[in-house]
Structure 1
Amino acid sequence: MTFSRRAVSAAVLAGALMIPTALPASADPGTAGPGIVSPSVPGLNPFFTQQLEWGPCAEFARTDADRAAYADPRYDCAYLDVPLDYGDPGASTARIAMLRQKALDPSARIGSLFVDPGGPGGSGVAFLPSLAGVIGDGEVAQRFDLIGFDPRGVGVSEPAIDCSTTEEVDAERVDLDLDTSPEGVAQTEAEFQEFADRCAERVGLDVLENVGTRDVARDLRIAHQVVGDEKLTYVGYSYGTSIGAEFAEQFPTDVRALVLDGAVDPALGPVESRTTQARGFQRAFDNFAAFCVTQADCPLGTDVAAASAAVQELLTPLIEAPVPTADPARTLGYNDAITGLIQALYAESLWPPLLDGLTEVTRGDGTTLLILADIYYDRAPDGSYGNLLEAFPVISCMDGDRLTDRAVAREINATNLELAPFLDAGFGSSDVLELCSFWPVPPTSEPGPVQAPGLPTVLVASSTGDPATPYEDGVSLARQMSARLLTVDNDSHTVVLQGANACADETATRYLVDLTLPPADLTCAREAAQPR
Structure 2
Amino acid sequence: MRRRGRAAGIGALGAAVLVLVGACSDAGTGTDEAQAPAEPGLEQFYGQELTWGPCADYAPTTEDQPAYADPELDCTRVTVPQDYAEPGGETMQIALLRKKATGDRIGSLFTDPGGPGASGTSFMAGQASSWAANGLGDRFDLIGFDPRGTGASVPLIECLTDQENDEDRAKVFADPSPEGVAAAEAHSRQFAERCTERTGADVLANVGTRDVAKDMDILRAVVGDEQLTYAGFSYGTELGTAYAEAFPQNVRALLLDGAVDPTQTTIESTVKQNAGFQLAFDNFAKDCTTRENCPLGTDPAQATAAFQAIMQPLIDEPVPAGDGRMLSFNDAQTGVSQALYVSQLWPALQQGISQVANGNGDFLMQLADLYHRRDAQGEYSNMLQAFQAITCVNQPALTEPAEALELATQADEAAPFRSTGRGPVGARDACAFWPAPPTSEPHTPQVDGLPPVVVVSVTGDPATPYQAGVDLAGQLGGSLISVNGEQHTASLQGDPCVDRLAIDYLVNLTVPEEGAECTLMPS
Name the TM-score class by shorter chain: over 0.9
Instruction: Find the aligned partners of 2:320 and 2:5 in 1 and give their Cα distance.
Output: 24
Are the aligned partners of 2:160 and 2:194 in contact in 1 as well (CA < 8 Å)? yes
User: Which of 411, 435, 439 is residue 434 of structure 2 equivalent to?
Assistant: 439
Q: What one-letter code is carried by the residue in structure 2 that aligns with 1:468?
A: A
Q: Distance in 2 between matches of 1:323 and 1:468?
A: 27
In structure 2, how many angstroms separate the alpha carbons of the residues matched to 1:41 and 1:278?
40
Partner Cα distance (1:255, 1:40) in 2: 14
Answer whether contact 2:118 2:151 (CA < 8 A) is retained.
yes
Which residue does 2:120 correspond to in 1?
Answer: 124
Q: 1:271 aligns with which of 256, 267, 272?
A: 267
Q: Which amino acid aligns with 1:486?
A: I
User: Are residues 1:496 and 2:491 paired?
Assistant: yes
1:448 aligned onto 2:443: yes
The corresponding residue for 1:368 is: 363
Give distance in 1, aligned partners of 2:243 and 2:371: 28
Q: Which amino acid aligns with 1:103?
A: A
Secondary structure class of the residue paired with 2:51: coil
Structure 2 alignment gaps of length 5 or more: 14-34
Matches of 1:64 and 1:40, distance apart in 2: 38
Separation of aligned partners in 1, 2:512 and 2:191:
46
Percent identity between matched residues is 51
In structure 2, the partner of 1:27 is none
**What displacement does 1:362 show?**
2.4
Cα distance between partner residues in 2 of 1:427 and 1:405: 22
Q: Does 1:135 align with 2:127?
A: no
Instruction: Say whether residues 1:4 and 2:5 are aligned partners.
Output: no
User: Could you tell me how far 1:419 is from its partner in structure 2?
Assistant: 1.4
The alignment partner of 1:446 has SS state of coil
**Greater shift after overlay, 237-246 or 356-365?**
356-365
On the 8 A contact 2:10/2:337 being kept in 1, the answer is no
Q: Residues of 1 paired with 2:174 and 2:505: CA distance? A: 47
Partner of 2:142, secondary structure, is: strand
Aligned counterpart, 2:404:
409
Deviation at 1:420, TM superposition (A): 0.8
Contact 1:131 1:498 in 2 (8 A): no
In structure 2, give the amino acid aligned to 1:323. V
1:228 aligns with one of 207, 211, 224: 224
> C-alpha displacement at 1:339, in angstroms?
0.8
Task: Please state if 1:463 is matched with 2:463.
Answer: no
Q: TM-score, normalised by structure 1?
A: 0.92
User: Contact 2:124 / 2:142 at 8 angstroms: preserved in 1?
Assistant: yes
- For residue 168 of structure 1, the aligned residue among 164, 171, 186 is 164
1:262 aligns with 258
CA distance in 1: counterparts of 2:331 and 2:102, whole angstroms:
42
C-alpha distance in 2 between matches for 1:104 and 1:304:
51
Q: What is the 5 A alignment of 1:174-185? A: 174-185=170-181
Cα deviation for residue 115 of structure 1 reads: 0.6
Deviations 1:192-251 (A, max 9, x none): 111111111111111011101000000000001100100000000000000000000000
Residue 320 of structure 1 deviates from its aligned partner by 2.4
Give a deviation string over 1:44-102, Cα, whole Å, max 9, x none: 11111111111111111133431111111111111111111111111111000111111
Deviations, residues 465-495 of structure 1 (Å, cap 9, x unaligned): 0000000001111111111011001111111
Q: Distance in 1 between matches of 2:410 and 2:444?
A: 23
TM-score when scaled to structure 2?
0.93
State how far apart, in whole Å, the 2-side matches of 1:418 and 1:385 are: 32
TM-superposed CA distance for 1:402, in Å, is 1.9
C-alpha contact 1:104 1:137 (8 A) present in aligned 2: no
Change (3 A) 1:81 1:97: same
Matched, 1:305 2:304: no
User: In 2, Cα distance between the equivalents of 1:299 and 1:134?
Assistant: 37
| 2:16 equivalent in structure 1 | none
1:397 maps to a residue whose letter is C
Contact 1:348 1:491 in 2 (8 A): yes
How many pairs were matched up?
Answer: 502
Q: CA deviation at 1:18?
A: 4.0
Give SS of 1:190's match: helix
Match of 2:313 among 312, 317, 332: 317
User: Does structure 2 retain, via aligned residues, the 8 Å contact 1:265–1:477?
Assistant: yes
**Secondary structure of residue in 1 paired with 2:244:** helix
2:246 corresponds to 1:250: yes
Q: 1:40 to 1:375 in 2, by over 3 A?
A: closer
Q: What amino acid does structure 2 have at the position aligned with 1:312? A: Q
Counterpart residue number, 1:203: 199
Partner-residue secondary structure (3-state), 2:451: coil
Number of the residue aligned with 2:99 = 101
Q: Give the 5 Å matches for 1:60-79.
A: 60-79=58-77
Deviation at 1:5, TM superposition (A): 3.7
Native 8 Å contact 1:116 1:240 kept in 2: yes
Are the counterparts in 1 of residues 312 and 421 from structure 2 also a CA contact under 8 Å? no
Q: Distance in 2 between matches of 1:153 and 1:460?
A: 27
The answer on whether the counterparts of 1:468 and 1:493 sit within 8 Å (CA) in structure 2 is: yes
Out of 386, 392, 396, the residue aligned to residue 397 of structure 1 is 392
Q: Is the 2:94–2:153 contact (alpha carbons within 8 Å) kept by the matching residues of 1?
A: yes
The aligned residue for residue 111 of structure 1 is 107
Q: Mark the runs of 5 or more structure 1 residues left unpaired by the alignment.
A: 22-36
2:9 aligned with 1:17, yes or no? yes
Q: Does 1:515 align with 2:513?
A: no
**Superimposed CA distance per residue, residues 359-401 of structure 1 (whole angstroms, 9 cap, x where no aligned partner):** 2222322111000000000111110101111011110111101
Provide the rounded CA distance (Å) in 2 between the counterparts of 1:5 and 1:198. 20
Please state how far the C-alpha of 1:136 moved relative to its aligned partner.
4.2
**Farther-moved stretch of structure 1 (416-425 vs 401-410):** 401-410
CA positional deviation for 1:269: 3.7
Q: Deviations over 1:11-36 (max 9, x none)?
A: x3xxx324689xxxxxxxxxxxxxxx
Give me the whole-angstrom Cα distance separating, in 2, the residues matched to 1:62 and 1:47. 25
Separation in structure 2 between the aligned mates of residue 303 and residue 315 of structure 1, nearest angstrom: 18
Residue deviations 1:305-350 (CA, integer Å, cap 9, x gap): 11111111111222222222332x2221211111100111111122
Q: Secondary structure at the match of 1:17?
A: coil
